[in-house]
Structure 1
Amino acid sequence: MDALRRRTTYKFSEQDNDGEMRVLDEQEQDDVIAELRKQYQKTRLLHSISIKLLILLSAIMHITSFQVNPLLTIFPGVPSSSATTLPFSTGFTIVSLTVHLYFAILLHPDLVRTHLQLPRNPKPLPYGILYVISAIGPIVSLLLHLPWQTTAWWSLTPIIVFVVQSAMDAAESSSRGISELESKRYVARGA
């Protein structure tokens, strides 16, 4: 019986009054990593659905309001005239929809690869390029001193770029953190 050790259950830090560091055995380490991986998968799925929904709603808003700024309808402050519309608004809308299409492709790389029969997934563009492309509309609106509703409407695409970049970076950081945690496993004999 001396060769067998008694396994003690893990005590949370608020239960741990003696202040000693707890050493996890191999099974406990695997359990912690599996639980973190499960939480990561749930969070990643939720973020993915949220981002896809946000991109879809934004694209629908841009398609349905191709010539008219919907913020001027919601917040009428200036009479609707040519002084409230951005010159070349159709071109800026096409650019915005192109950015939305790019994100749809970025979020479904395997589907695009198999549908277009590509040898590998499409390589993502740097976010700096997307920021520059999507920021042209709001900058022109600011330079022309158009109403805040027009500037806010054209700022929607750079905001979408920021949200997608933040979500993708957070997912990558979490995945990297779990991988680093797996690489730091240790063998604790007698823990």
Structure 2
Amino acid sequence: MTSLRHRVGFTASDDDGDAQNHVLDDVEQEEVIEDLRQRNDETTARATLVLDVVLPSLRALPSFIPTLEPDPPCPILFTLLALGLHSNLTLLVHPTLALHSTLKALPLPISFSLTYALAAVWPTLSLFLARSWQVTAFSAASFLVVALTHSVLRTLQEGDQALAELETLRYRAPGP
């Protein structure tokens, strides 16, 4: 007599009693994971597009300082610093660009901790020089762009990690 193996899905009783948990088979699991992966890729593409718009548009922002205040100390230095920070953020958003860099000796892109420190120089100097709050807020624009980019990239990395973890939790039921 041959016995057939009948697979019965696990159901758990909830407090309401009406809802039943459905155990996904291998194909359904793959469909769910593929759908989540596709949504994650779409979100990544949208976030990268937003950063591609934000970074170039704010690249030269520090060169347009409000004229009500006296000139900032070393305006060329701070403009170059802002350009460097935004270029570094572009390399962080698009790591493949760093591979094509002609300056192979430089450790590009630099870490976010150093990027934050460099972006905080101008606002800190503005505070120490007792500039108006408008100039100080304006000088913090690069710092805010660094924070925005870091937040978006961290969120995208968390999404990728969650997908990788979901794939490791996949239920596999080998046949008899």
TM-score, normalised with respect to structure 2: 0.81
Residue ranges of structure 2 left out of the alignment (5+ in a row): 7-15
1:129–1:112 distance in 2 versus 1, CA, 3 Å? closer
**1:9 corresponds to:** none
- CA shift, 1:107, in A, is 2.5
**1:101 corresponds to:** 87
How far apart, in 1, do the equivalents of 2:154 and 2:51 lie? 13
- What is the root-mean-square deviation of aligned Cα atoms in Å? 3.0
How far apart, in 2, do the equivalents of 1:146 and 1:139 lie? 10
**1:111 corresponds to:** 97
Q: Which has the higher contact order (CA 8 A, sep 6+)?
A: 1
Please tell me the residue identity of whatever aligns with 1:41. D
How far apart, in 1, do the equivalents of 2:33 and 2:139 lie? 43
Residue ranges of structure 1 left out of the alignment (5+ in a row): 6-15, 74-79
**2:153 corresponds to:** 168
Are residue 52 (structure 1) and residue 52 (structure 2) matched? yes
**2:10 corresponds to:** none
Are residue 187 (structure 1) and residue 167 (structure 2) matched? no
- CA shift, 1:41, in A, is 0.5
- CA shift, 1:61, in A, is 2.9
Please tell me the residue identity of whatever aligns with 1:22. H
Q: Which moved more, 1:107-116 or 1:141-150?
A: 107-116
1:175–1:81 distance in 2 versus 1, CA, 3 Å? closer
Residue of 118, 121, 130 corresponding to 2:115: 130
How far apart, in 1, do the equivalents of 2:54 and 2:117 lie? 21
Superposition pairs of residues 68-87 of structure 1, within 5 angstroms: 68-69=64-65, 72=66, 80-82=68-70, 85-87=71-73
| Percent of paired sites with the same residue | 27
**Structure 1 moving runs of 4+ over 6 Å:** none
TM-score, normalised with respect to structure 1: 0.75
- CA shift, 1:81, in A, is 4.3
Deviations, residues 54-89 of structure 1 (Å, cap 9, x unaligned): 001101434xxx2x41xx37xxxxxx242xx32222
SS class of match (2:22): coil
- CA shift, 1:109, in A, is 2.6
